[in-house]
């Protein structure tokens, strides 16, 4: 089974994929940073939602 990172690297060679990914790359970077900080703090998604006064579902959409 192919790893996501390997597929991403392969797909980045395709102009349509590269353009689409470029349009949302900042959101992925931000989401990854939030997940990293949340994990290091030992918080669940629910904990983070409670702290930020937002329902958990409101935190999911990336695009």
- The predicted structure's pLDDT at residue 2: 77
Q: What is the pTM of this model?
A: 0.56
Structure tokens at 19: 């353009």
Distance separating alpha carbons of residues 43 and 51, to the nearest angstrom: 10
User: Could you tell me the residue ranges of all domains in the chain?
Assistant: 4-59
Taking only the tens place, the pLDDT of each residue in 17-36 is 999 999 998 998 999 999 99
31 burial (CB, 10 Å; 0-12 / 13-18 / 19+) is: middle
Question: Is the Cβ–Cβ distance between 61 and 27 less than 8 Å?
Answer: no
Residue 21 CB: number of other CB atoms within 10 A?
14
């Amino acid at each position: 089974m192919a790893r996501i990172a390997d597929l991403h690297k392969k797909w980045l060679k395709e102009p349509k994929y590269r353009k689409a990914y470029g349009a949302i790359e900042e959101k992925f970077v931000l989401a990854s940073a939030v997940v990293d900080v949340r994990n290091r703090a030992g918080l669940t998604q629910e904990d983070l939602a409670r702290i930020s006064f937002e329902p958990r579902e409101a935190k999911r959409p990336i695009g």
